[in-house]
Structure 1
Amino acid sequence: MPMFKTPFNGYSVKFSPFYENQLAVATAQNFGILGNGRVHILQLSPNGPISELAAFDTADGVYDVCWSEAHDSLVIAASGDGSVKLYDISLPPTNNPIRSFQEHTREVHSVDYNTVRKDSFLSASWDDTVKLWTVDRNASVRTFKEHAYCVYSAAWNPRHADIFASASGDCTTRIWDVREPGSTMILPAHEFEILTCDWNKYDDCIIATASVDKSIKVWDIRNYRVPIAVLNGHGYAVRKVRFSPHRASAMVSCSYDMTVCMWDYMVEDALIGRYDHHTEFAVGVDMSVLVEGLLASTGWDELVYVWQHGMDPRAP
């Protein structure tokens, strides 16, 4: 299956919601500690290698990317300098970014676009805050500040335009309604830092969290005293978890143990696939909305892989 080599360390990969053959990749020099970054827009060819449609250089590392849900050429990037940048891939690099949002005081670690209200997106930062933005305003609409440590991830509910979740190093996941003054629920989900969260695409009350403690937990927010599933199988911190857009009980995760895992949290032997193609930390993973079973991952080995679930990512 196809593979692409980036000049910097991979941090995040996202399939386009409009084109089944496009994906965006966030990268950072020197493992994101110091140096530049680059946003890659990649294109899959039917029978050949991955090609680069566009690339945008940044003065600091890029930790996450997301696609606009309203315009097929717009990509949002989370930067290590505290900025959030908006790129139009139909324009040349010299005309980009078309907007830079500069309010966070530390690294922006996560961006997520609202799939229901298609003009707004979230940014989560190491300054302990989440910010709500719209693409047409230079200033944020609102800042959410309750977490006591870095916010590593923020994710919109796929069915409710006003509801999102945030995952933090303070060991909590918070549920927010942007119409309310504060968070509406606090999940003390793990005893160690929570690095990622994601909502089930078929049940708007189901959320997954993953942590430095190596586990993934699945919660029903209607009764969150105990998780409905605990998934163990990674050997180190779980960096990202994503629910399948095609199967209600399936999800994919990646970890500092250099593996990508596929899970079905409704069955007893929940681990249904393990891929060990990366040779450094695997930190970015995504599942295509348009092609069932199509996966992409990236990691600190500077490689981006795209493959079909059940196949070997390294197979030609």
Structure 2
Amino acid sequence: MPVFKVPFNGYSVKFSPFYESQLAVATAQNFGILGNGRLHVLQLSPSPANPGQPISEISSFDTADGVYDCCWSESHDSLIVAAVADGSVKLYDLSLPPTANPIRSLQEHTREVHSVDYNVVRKDSFLSSSWDDTVKLWTVDRPSSVRTFKEHAYCVYSTAWNPRHADVFASASGDCTARIWDVREPASTMILPAHEFEILSCDWNKYDDCVIATASVDKSIKVWDVRSFRVPVAVLNGHGYAVRKVKFSPHRGSVIASCSYDMTVCLWDYMVEDALIGRYDHHTEFTVGVDMSVLVEGLLASTGWDELVYVWQHGMDPRAP
């Protein structure tokens, strides 16, 4: 299976929504504590230029601080948004030479930007969340944010747009709550006291716009129905340490991918009794980034602090040649 070595510690990996063979990887030097960052754009072979290399680099962009997350534009196949540790949100255009990038650097957050997410319905807008406890809404044509959402009492680690409603998103915070927001409303519309420890990630079900998953330092993933959120729909236990990222499958409504500080990637089906349907232990350091391809069913990618990016088909060994 394809594997690629990056010079810094991997933080996030995202498949392109336009090309099944492209993915972006956010990396940070010195485990993201101090130092530079780099955004990589990788190509899965077979490539005419690199027939013997399963993954090759199309381009890369250096930053003075670590890159913690990235997301692809849903309207421009060459546009990538990056969350940077200096508090900036940077936009890169692959169709332009490296010297012309970034095409924009949005500097409003006062601390590290930890996540970015692009709106799949209203395709000119995206979110950023930060350790300054806020979420900001941006559009690609404006140099300043449209709105700042400030209710969380601690770092906002993750945001996710609802896959069907252009104005609705969720946020996950170190204050142990997940919140549901509607950008047309003055305040959050729902507060989920989802875990007793910090919540590091959240994501919406792509087939049921009322179902959300949260992942926590308490090692668990919980699935919630926002129409009746007193009790979780499912609690998924199996990771040995904090769950860093959670992602619903774009192909199967009940399937979730997760990655953890226990160095594993897990696949779950929260609708069945034995929910754990796959465990991959190919990383040798904290695994902090995982994604599933929208275009190829069962295709997974992960990255971690071992400076490796893996791409593999569910059911295969990521380390197999």
Tell me the TM-score normalized by structure 1.
1.00
The amino acid that maps onto 1:44 is L
Structure 2 regions of 5+ residues with no counterpart? Answer: none
What does residue 2 of structure 1 align with? 2
5+ residue gaps in structure 1? none
1:299 to 304, 307, 314: 304
Structure 1 counterpart of 2:103: 98
- CA distance in 1 between counterparts of 2:143 and 2:65 reads 20
Q: Supply the distance in 2 between the matched residues of 1:154 and 1:275 (Cα, whole angstroms).
A: 25
The answer to whether residue 119 in structure 2 is matched with residue 114 in structure 1 is yes
**Structure 2 counterpart SS, 1:4:** strand
Q: 2:191 aligns with which of 186, 189, 206?
A: 186
| 1:113-158 Cα distance to aligned partner (Å, 9 max, x none) | 0000000000000000000000010100000000000000000000
Residue of structure 1 aligned with 2:179, choices 157, 161, 174 = 174
Name the counterpart of 1:31: 31
> Can you list the C-alpha shifts for 1:48-99, whole angstroms capped at 9, x where unaligned?
4200000000000000000000000000000000000000011111110000
Pair 1:288-2:293 in alignment: yes
Report what 2:254 is aligned to.
Answer: 249
Task: Give the corresponding residue for 1:272.
Answer: 277
Secondary structure of the 1:76 match is strand
List structure 1 runs of 4+ shifted beyond 2 angstroms.
none
In structure 2, the partner of 1:207 is 212
Q: Name the counterpart of 1:159.
A: 164
1:129 matched to 2:134? The reply is yes
Deviation, 1:293, is 0.1
Distance (whole Å) between structure 2 residues aligned to residue 276 and residue 233 of structure 1: 13
Q: Which residue of 2 aligns with 1:11?
A: 11
Name 2:202's counterpart in structure 1. 197
Helix, strand or coil for the counterpart of 1:254?
A: strand
Aligned partner of 1:236 in structure 2 is 241
For residues 25 and 10 of structure 2, the distance between their equivalents in structure 1, rounded to whole angstroms, comes to: 7
Q: Which moved more, 1:123-132 or 1:44-53?
A: 44-53
> Does 1:72 find its partner at 2:72?
no
Bigger drift between 38-47 and 81-90 goes to 38-47
State the shift of 1:109 in Å: 0.2
User: For 2:310 and 2:94, how far apart are their aligned partners in 1?
Assistant: 21
Find the aligned partners of 1:129 and 1:142 in 2 and give their Cα distance: 10
Q: Distance in 2 between matches of 1:92 and 1:252?
A: 35
Helix, strand or coil: the match of 2:300?
Answer: strand
- Cα RMSD (Å): 0.5
Matched position secondary structure for 2:26: strand
Local SS of the residue matching 2:99: helix
| Helix, strand or coil at the partner of 1:85 | strand
Map 1:41-80 onto structure 2 (within 5 A): 41-46=41-46, 48-80=53-85
Q: Matches of 2:234 and 2:256 in 1, distance apart?
A: 12
Instruction: Tell me whether 1:262 sits opposite 2:267 in the alignment.
Output: yes
Aligned to 1:84, what secondary structure does the other structure show?
A: strand
CA shift digits 1:161-211 (9 cap, x unpaired): 000000000000000000000000000000000000000000000000000
Q: Secondary structure at the match of 2:297?
A: coil
Provide the secondary structure at the position in 1 that maps to 2:31. helix
C-alpha separation in 2, matches of 1:257 and 1:170: 22
Alignment correspondent of 2:319: 314
Cα distance between partner residues in 1 of 2:299 and 2:131: 31
Identity among equivalent positions (%) equals: 87
**1:228-285: CA deviations, max 9, x gaps?**
0000000000000000000010010000000000000000000000000000000000
In the alignment, the residues of structure 2 paired with residue 32 and residue 91 of structure 1 have an alpha-carbon distance, to the nearest angstrom, of 27
Query: Partner amino acid for 1:270?
Result: A
The number of equivalent residue pairs is 316
